[in-house]
Amino acid sequence: MSRRAGIWIAALVLISLVMGVLWTIRLAPPSPAPWWWGKETALHVEVWEPGKDMATVAMTMPKKTIDTMFALGLPAEISAGGHKIRLNEVRSKIERLPRGEKLTVREGGATFYLWLDVKK
């Protein structure tokens, strides 16, 4: 009886493994590289203050420059009208954003919008 139970358990394990492999192939796991990897990417920043109909600050910087600043340990800050954001603190969130989405950070009444885009 124990031999028969062992065969059934082995068969169930094998079936489970096959189902897992087929399910994984069907879902196509995501690529480990982000969408911006290997492209000329720019970081866009907009600062909106309350009561203003246009952005107080709008800038575009090459991502390579920002990456170099992080690698050298330089502080990367953007300040406008007394509102300040440290790019070191939000870098990982920006890099994980899907294409076309903006990171929204509210600080002291101002709203910062940050996103990555491929240069054209």
Asked if 106 and 95 touch (Cβ cutoff 8 Å), the reply is no
In this predicted model, what pLDDT tens digit does every residue of 42-83 receive, in sequence order? 999 999 988 888 988 899 999 998 889 889 988 888 887 788
Confidence grade of residue 8 (pLDDT, cut at 50, 70, 90)? very high
| Burial classification of residue 45, based on how many CB atoms lie within 10 Å of its CB (0-12 exposed, 13-18 middle, 19 or more buried) | buried
Mean pLDDT score, 109-113:
90
Q: Which amino acid, 8?
A: W
pLDDT at 1 over 70: no
Nearest to 45 by CA among 76, 89, 78: 78
Confidence grade of residue 12 (pLDDT, cut at 50, 70, 90)? very high
| Burial classification of residue 77, based on how many CB atoms lie within 10 Å of its CB (0-12 exposed, 13-18 middle, 19 or more buried) | exposed
**What pTM was computed for the model?**
0.70
Residue 7 is predicted with a pLDDT of 93
CA 70/CA 43 separation, integer angstroms? 14
In this predicted model, what pLDDT tens digit does every residue of 16-52 receive, in sequence order? 999 988 888 877 767 788 888 989 999 999 999 888 8
Residue 76 is predicted with a pLDDT of 85
